[in-house]
Amino acid sequence: MSELIDLTAAQAAKLTRAGELDPAELFEAYRARAAGDELNAFTWVADVAPAGPPAAGAPLGGVPLAVKDLFCTEGVPSQAGSRILEGYRPPYTATVVAQLAAGGAPLLGKTNQDEFAMGSSNENSGYGPVLNPWDRSRVPGGSSGGSAAAVAAGLAPWAIGTDTGGSIRQPAALCGIVGLKPTYGACSRYGMIAFASSLDQAGPLTRDVTDAAMLLAHMIGHDERDSTSLPFPGEIALPAREDLRGVRFGVPEELAGDGIEPGVLDSFRATLELAKRLGATVEPCTLPHAPHALSAYYLIAPAEASANLARYDGVRYGLRVDAPDLISMYTRTRSAGFGPEVKRRIMLGTYALSSGYYDAYYGTAQKVRTMIAEDFRAVFEGFDFVVTPTSPWTAFELGAKTADPLAMYLNDFCTVPMPLAGIPAVSIPSGLSAGLPVGFQLAGPAFSESRLLDAAYALEQAIGFDGSAARR
Amino acid sequence: MSTEYEPVIGLEIHVQLATRTKMFCGCDLSFGDPPNTHTCPVCLGLPGTLPVLNARAVHFGVLIGLALGSQIAERSLFHRKNYFYPDLPKGYQISQYDVPLCSGGSLGEVCIHRVHLEEDAAKLVHVGESGRIHGSDRSVVDFNRGGTPLVEIVTEPDLHAPDQAREWLTLLRATLKRLGVSDVNMDEGSLRCDANVSVRPVGSQQLGTKTELKNMNSFRYLERGVRAEIERQIGLLQSGGAVAQETLHFDPASDRLTPLRSKEEAHDYRYFPEPDLVPLVVTGEMHAAAQADLAELPAARAKRFEQQLGLAPDRARELAFRTELGDYYERALAADGHDPVTVANWIPQLVERIGSDADPAQSKVTPEALATLAGMVSAKEVARDAARDVLTRLVAEGGDPRTIVEERGLGSLTADDGGLTEIIDRAIAADPAAAEQVRQGNMRAVGPLVGFVMKETKGRADGGEVARLIRERVG
C-alpha cells in the first residue's frame, strides 16, 4: 500500500499502461485513503471507481483525480465551499474535468475550498477548515486548500484547482507541492463556478512538475462553450531539461524583498544560487506597478464576484429561506447562505461598481491592470522568467489571520500580479523553513507553459525536495 | 391666453430576433410551447455556465443597422446590467451599454439614436388578481423566453404626435418584417414599444421633463397611451404643477397611467463589461454578408409602387408598409399582365373581408384569383357589385373566380342580352316621370331607373352601361 502511495502519478500511470498495476487497485487504494481523510480535505469521495475502466493505454492511466469542489461534476455535489449550494448536484460536467476523465483520470473526490474561492487559508469554507498535513495546527493555504492538502498528504495522486489571485500557487507552496496557474484562456472555464471571470483559471496541483505537465496537457484547448478560451499554440511536452544554461531569471525588487518572512527569503535566495549553478543568469528587474496589484485585484475580483454571485437568489436551486415577499426571500436566503468573507467581497464589489464610484474604483483598477501587464511585457524583453517567493510566509496557524482581512489579503502579494496580466506561473517547493514548506514561483509570458515547466523541472531536480513526511 | 404645448416623443423598441436559437446558448426559440421545455444550463444561469454569442443575431443586428443607415461599430462591447428579479436567472442581463453595435441613422423623418443587442428575460406569470407581481398570490417563471435575442432600437425624440408615433412604428415594423429579422408581432411580444414623452411650450428648444411609458403592446395602445400622457402632462403644467420623471404603466382598459412602484424601478444597474465575452468585432465579411441580405425596404418599395406602377401615394404606402400586402400584391401582378392600379384597388377589398391584421397569403384567395377577378372587372366581364360577391365567396371557399361567375350566372348583362333590354323597359314603365325627366336632359333622374335595373339583375349589369342604355331607350 505505502509503495503505491509513494509513486508519483506519472510513475503510477506508466505502470498501469504497461499492465503492471491494476488501475482498479490503484483507485481503491486512494479511495480508501481519501475516505479516511482526517484533514477535512474532501467534501465528497467516490464510493466506487466510475463505471467503465479507462480505455487501454489511456495516457493518464486511470490514475484517480481529486477535483476542487467548484468544478461542476454531473450528479455529484458541487458546492463551491458554500452553504448556499449545499447538496447542489449539477446536470453537467465541467469541460476540463470531462477532458481529464477522457484522458484516463477518473474522479476520486471533490475537495474542500474557501467559499467561492475567496480566501487564502481555507478557513472561509462553509464546510470547515482544511488542516495542513505538515502541521495540523496550521492552514494549508487557499483557496484550493483541499486539493493541495490531499495531494501533499497522499490522499490523492494529483488534483486540480483554480487560481484567481494565487489560489493554486499559494496552497501548493504552503503544502510543499507543485501548483501551476496557466495562461488566461488556456483552459476552458466552462463548468467552473465563477469567482472572478476575468482572472479565474483552472490548473494542476501535483506532487512534481512532470505530473503537472501531464495533467495540463489534457486541460488545455479551445472550448466552444467558453468564448474566452483559446487554442493552445503547440503541445505540452513532458519536461526533461536538466540545466538552465542561457535562461535569464528576473527578480523583481518589488516582490522579493520587504514583507517576505526571513526563512522564506533564505530559501528563495538559495534557489537562485542553485539556478546560477545550473547556468541561469539572475538579475534584478522591476515591475513598478506590482505594489498596486493587490489594490487593483481587490476591486476587480469583488466587482466581478458581486455579479457572478447574484444568481444564488433562492429561486431555482441551492438554499432558499422562505419569506412573505420576494425581497425578504432574497435577503434571508443570501444572509443565511453566504459566509462573512463572501458578503464582504460582494459589498466591496457592489460599491466599486456603483454609480458615481465606477470610474474612481473599477475604472482605475482596470488601468492599473493594464500597466501591470505592460510592466511584465517590458521585463520579458530582457528576461525569460520572473521569479519570486510564492507566498510571503510559510503555513500559519489556524485562526492567526482571520480577524484581520487585510493581513490575510497580503498572502496574495506575490501571486496576484500574474493573473492580472493573464500570464502563467508555477510554484515549486524550494525547501523547508522551520519544518514547513516554502514555495518558489516562476512566471513567464503568455503561453510559455512548456518552457516554464522545463525550467521548473530543472530546478526541481536540483532542489531534490522530499515531501514524503507529509504522507505519513 | 394659455400656453400652447408641443409634445416631444421618443421610442424605445425591443424586437425579438427570429433566429433559430437563443442569444447565448443552443436552445431553440419557442412561442407557446409548454413552459420550461426550451432550457439548458446556460439559459437557466446554472453555476459555472458561460454565454456564447449567437452569430445569426449579430448578422440580424448588422442588417438592421444597415437598413437604418446606422454606423456599424467595428468593435462593440457587452456589459452586465445587474439587478435581482426572478425572471433574470443570472442576476444580470447581458446587454450592450456604452459601445453599441449601431449608432445613428434614420427611418423616415425620425433619427435613430442607437441599436444594440441584448438577451430577453424569462416570462413571469403572476397568479392572482392584479396580474402584476405586487399583490399576486404567487409567481411562476417560464424560462422558454429567457435568453431570446433582442435588439433594442432607440430613436431620437423626433416625434410630435401620438398618431405620428403610431404611423412611424408601423413603418419600422414593416421595415423589420421586410428584413426578415423578426416576426414583429406585438400581441406575442416579439415587438415591444416603450415611449419617452415630454411636452414643451411651442417654440421652445428646451426639452421638458420626460416620463417613460410601458406596456403599450399594440399600435392602438401606443397611440392611446401617448395621447393620454400628453394630456396628463399638459393638464399638470396648465394647473401650475410640474411633471415628475417616472416610469408609468399604461392600462389599456382604463387609459390610465400609473407609476411603477419604486422597487420595480429604482436601480443602480452597476454596468460593467461582461468578462465572459470578448469584444464583438464586425469584420468586412460580416458587413458584406449583411449588405447582400438587405432587401428593398418599405419606404423604397412605396416609392417604386408610386413612381413605376402609378399608384396613388396613400395606396402605395398602404401596400408597401405592410410587407405581406406588398408581397401579395406583387404576386398578383406577376400572375397576369393586369393593370397595376386596378389590381391594387382590389387589395383593400380583400383586407376588409379577411380582417385588417390577417396575412392575405394565408387566406383562401390566391393572388392569381384576385388578379383574374380584377381583370374580369376591367374587361367588363363581370360587374363591380357582382365581383364583390365573388370575392366574398372566394374568401369563404377559395377557387377560381371564372368558375364562380359561370356557375352562379353572375356574368355581366349587356345590351345584346335581350333580358337586360326587357328589364330596362320595365324600369321605364314603372317610373315614367323619371323617364320623362331623363328625356328632357336631367341626368340625375337616371339614378332611380338604374337602381331598379341593378336590383332586378342582382348587380350583374354594369351601372354606367345601364345608364347609357336608358338614355338611348328614352331618347
Nearest to A190 among B50, B89, B275 (CB): B50
Residue B90 to residue A310, Cβ atoms within 8 A: yes
**Are B82 and B103 part of one and the same domain?**
yes
Q: Cα Rg for chain B, rounded, in angstroms?
A: 29
Q: Which of A63, A287, A304 is nearest to B91 (CA)?
A: A304
Residue B412 lies in a domain: no
Nearest to B52 among A90, A224, A317 (CB): A224
**Exposure string for B224-239, b = 16+ CB within 10 A, e = fewer:** bbbbbbbebbbeebee
Question: What's the domain count of chain B?
Answer: 3
B459-463 long-range Cβ contacts below 8 angstroms, 24+ apart = B459/B383, B459/B385, B459/B386, B459/B389, B460/B382, B460/B383, B460/B386, B460/B409, B460/B410, B460/B411, B460/B412, B460/B413, B461/B383, B461/B412, B461/B413, B461/B414, B461/B420, B462/B380, B462/B383, B462/B384, B462/B412, B463/B383, B463/B384, B463/B385
Q: In the Cβ-directed half-sphere of A386, how many Cα atoms lie within 13 Å?
A: 30
Residue A91 to residue B90, Cβ atoms within 8 A: no
User: CA–CA distance from B276 to each of A188, A200, A304, B49, B80 (Å)?
Assistant: 11, 11, 10, 10, 10
Report, as an integer, the average pLDDT of B461-474: 79
Report, as an integer, the average pLDDT of B134-142: 78
**Higher local confidence (pLDDT), B405 or A373:** A373
> Going along B262-396, which residue ranges are E strands?
272-273, 280-281
Distance between A170 CA and the closest CA of chain B, angstroms: 23
Q: Which of A155, A150, A350, A220 is nearest to B270 (CA)?
A: A350
User: What SS3 class is residue A227?
Assistant: coil
Sequence letter at residue A164: T
**Are B445 and B390 part of one and the same domain?**
no
Please name the residue that has the C-alpha cell 339583375.
B457
Instruction: pLDDT band for B409, please (50, 70, 90 cuts).
Output: confident
* CATH for B457: 1.10.10
pLDDT confidence of residue A3: 84
User: What SS3 class is residue B110?
Assistant: strand
**Are B64 and B30 part of one and the same domain?**
yes
**Are B150 and B226 part of one and the same domain?**
yes
Is A68 in the active site? Answer: yes
Among A107-116, B94-103, B374-383, which stretch is predicted with the lowest mean pLDDT?
Answer: B374-383
With 60 as the cut, is the pLDDT of residue B265 above it? no
Q: Which of B225, B215, B216, B217 is nearest to B188 (CA)?
A: B217
Instruction: pLDDT band for B430, please (50, 70, 90 cuts).
Output: confident
**Are B286 and B300 part of one and the same domain?**
no
- For the residues of B265-296, what is the DSSP string, one character each? H------EE-TTS--EE--HHHHHHHHHH-PP
- Quick: pLDDT tens for B220-261: 999 999 999 999 999 999 999 999 999 999 988 888 899 876
Sequence letter at residue A144: S
Four-residue CA torsion sign, A413, A418, A419, A420: positive
Low pLDDT (below 70) residues in chain A: 1-2, 51-56
Q: How far apart are CA A89 and CA A95, in angstroms?
A: 16
Q: Beta strands A281-285 and B191-201: pairing type?
A: unpaired
**Higher local confidence (pLDDT), B465 or A219:** A219
Q: How far apart are CA A146 and CA A177, in angstroms?
A: 13
Tell me which residue range forms the domain holding B423.
Answer: 418-474
* Residue that is last in its domain, among B291, B322, B357: B291
Q: How far apart are CA A116 and CA A82, in angstroms?
A: 7
Q: How far apart are CA B251 and CA B146, in angstroms?
A: 25
Q: Beta strands A65-68 and A158-163: pairing type?
A: parallel
Residue B46 to residue A317, Cβ atoms within 8 A: yes
Is A401 in the active site? Answer: no
Q: Which of A170, A187, A195, A159 is nearest to A80 (CA)?
A: A195
H or E segment and range at residue A161? strand A158-163
Q: Is the separation of the CB atoms in B42 and B50 below 8 Å?
A: yes
In chain A, where are the structural domains located?
2-246+444-471, 291-366
Residue B307 lies in a domain: yes
Please name the residue that has the C-alpha cell 436551486.
A317
- For the residues of A377-439, what is the DSSP string, one character each? HHHTTT-SEEEEESSSSS--BTTSSTT-HHHHHGGGTTTSHHHHHT--EEEEEEEEETTEEEE
Q: How far apart are CA B17 and CA B181, in angstroms?
A: 6
Please report how the helices A364-379 and A293-308 are oriented relative to each other, as an axis angle in degrees rounded to 10: 130
* Residue that is last in its domain, among B388, B407, B426: B407
Nearest to B275 among A197, A315, A316 (CB): A197
With 0-12 CB in 10 A as exposed, 13-18 as middle and 19+ as buried, what is B349? Answer: middle
Residue A353 to residue B141, Cβ atoms within 8 A: no
Q: Which of B116, B124, B129, B149 is nearest to B26 (CA)?
A: B149
Q: In the Cβ-directed half-sphere of B370, how many Cα atoms lie within 13 Å?
A: 29
With 60 as the cut, is the pLDDT of residue B195 above it? yes
Residue B413 lies in a domain: no
Q: Is the separation of the CB atoms in A88 and A318 below 8 Å?
A: yes
Distance between A310 CA and the closest CA of chain B, angstroms: 5
Residue B79 lies in a domain: yes
Q: How many CB pairs under 8 A join A and B?
A: 103
Distance between B57 CA and the closest CA of chain A, angstroms: 16
Residue B91 to residue A311, Cβ atoms within 8 A: yes
Nearest to B82 among A88, A310, A317 (CB): A310
Q: Which of A76, A116, A72 is nearest to A98 (CA)?
A: A72
**Are B64 and B175 part of one and the same domain?**
yes
User: CA–CA distance from B80 to each of B118, B268, B449 (Å)?
Assistant: 10, 12, 76
With 0-12 CB in 10 A as exposed, 13-18 as middle and 19+ as buried, what is A266? Answer: middle
**Are B22 and B141 part of one and the same domain?**
yes
**Are B304 and B427 part of one and the same domain?**
no
pLDDT confidence of residue A375: 98
* Residue that is last in its domain, among B380, B407, B434: B407
**Cell representation of residue B259:** 407609476
Phi and psi for B39 in degrees, rounded to 5? -140, 160
**Are B93 and B118 part of one and the same domain?**
yes
**Are B143 and B163 part of one and the same domain?**
yes
What string of H, E and C letters represents the secondary structure of A108-137? EEEECCCHHHCCCCCCCCCCCCCCECCECC
What is the fold, at CATH topology level, of the domain defined by A2-246+444-471? Answer: Amidase signature (AS) enzymes (3.90.1300)
Residue A193 to residue B82, Cβ atoms within 8 A: no
Beta bridge partners of B6: B200
Nearby residues of B414 by Cβ (< 8 Å), 6 or more positions away: B420, B461, B465
**Are B226 and B245 part of one and the same domain?**
yes
User: CA–CA distance from B199 to each of B157, B202, B255 (Å)?
Assistant: 11, 9, 19
- Quick: pLDDT tens for B435-459: 888 878 877 788 888 888 888 777 7
- Among A78, A125, A144, A167, which one carries the catalytic annotation? A167
User: Chain-wide mean pLDDT for chain B?
Assistant: 90
pLDDT confidence of residue B263: 47
**Are B242 and B391 part of one and the same domain?**
no
Judging contacts by C-beta atoms under 8 Å, the chain A residues touching residue B51 are: 227
Q: Is the separation of the CB atoms in A394 and A439 below 8 Å?
A: no
Q: How far apart are CA B183 and CA B17, in angstroms?
A: 8
- Quick: pLDDT tens for A263-297: 999 999 999 999 999 999 999 999 999 999 999 99
ipTM of the complex: 0.96
Q: Is the separation of the CB atoms in A111 and A66 below 8 Å?
A: yes
Q: What's the whole-model pTM score?
A: 0.86
